[in-house]
Amino acid sequence: MPEAPSKLQRAAARNIVTKYLRVRPGENAIIESWDHTMPMARAMVDEIRRAGGKTLHIHEDEDAWWQAMGRKQSKLLGQLSAPEWAAVKAADVYVHFWGPGDTDRIEKAPKKAFEESVAWLWPWYKEAWKAGLRGGRVAIGFASEGRAKQWGLDRTEWEDDILRACLTDPEETARRAARLYRALSRGKEVRITHSNGTDLTVGLAGLAPRLHDGRPHPRDKRYGRSDMLAQIPGGRIDVTLDSKMAEGSIHANRRTNIWWEWSAGGTLEFSEGKLTSYSFEEGGEEFAREFKKATAGKDRTGSLTFGLNPAAKDVPNLENIECGSVSLVLGGNRQFGGTNSSDFMSWITLAGSEVAVDGTPVVRGGRLL
């Protein structure tokens, strides 16, 4: 008997459908899921129908996917079928649950083969942009059994933490962010300090911040092509930095999760706008490998992210939306209107810090002022 959605899964799905995606009667919705996210996908199908929407549920079988990878058919996996392309063009709403779920096998898979298997991604965004599609990618897909074991987590508790963060109201998130948003819009300089030794000053590029409250932004050039799909749960502000201004150091106290790669205890030190040294307590190998081969600008700041979600308290894969946290993005920022065209991008996250914009406090002890 297939696993039924829990009460919390149903509540999260209803909130996503009604408040994040605002599904209307008669709209066409695609829900795409993997084995490990089937209960949540079932809840999403039910809630979209409850709202009067029409659904197409696309299920990717985990074992069949890995069988194809074993036959060296990664390029085939990287091509969507003609019926799915047609569905994208006809849909109004799209909900995606990340996969595959076997993160142990992902980490062991050849990087080139894995990249080939997801080659459909950017052509998909292009078509979705044309279609005016709106939707979300739901972070619960990252809560895998293998990653939970690796990090010493209870997978069920981890999933529940993510789901509770999905219960926030995006309108309330926008209200909570208003003062910080205004300060970042007008400011020129941001200083970040913390009792762990962090003391970093960076310059703002003078561009409007981007609020990510969980609601998608279809065909909105201010947000870019990928933001017709909101990251769910939402709750952050991104602001572009002046890549020539950075002085001091920042020490992470939260994990950094980029796809299925991770690191912890990161330290970045800057002088006269450039990164002068970096180190990690755990998992910094991928950072070092990518940094070594990256193009010019890799040693410059790209942007800052401020977390706004009060329910995301030190939740793996949600570190950069934890309310009051600040994440420093290193590398390219052209996609956000900046001048840094490096092909490198990584970040570290600090929670519980003090942040001031042009000398005026906006975050104190990890609390938005």
| Segments in the chain below pLDDT 70 | 1-2, 259-260
The ranges of the chain annotated as CATH 3.40.1830.10 are 7-165
Q: What is the pTM of this model?
A: 0.93
Please choose, from the candidates 99, 94, 109, 129, the residue with its C-alpha nearest in 3D space to the C-alpha of residue 34: 99
8 A C-beta contact, residue 304 and residue 238: yes
Identify residue 300 by its one-letter amino acid code. R
Matching CATH number, 7-165, of 3.40.350.10, 3.40.1830.10, 3.40.50.970, 3.30.1370.60: 3.40.1830.10
Q: Which residues of 178-194 are buried (b: 16+ CB within 10 A; e: fewer)?
A: eebbebbeebeebbbbb
Distance CA 357, CA 362 (A): 7
8 A C-beta contact, residue 368 and residue 180: yes
How far, in whole angstroms, is CA 163 from its chain's centroid? 15
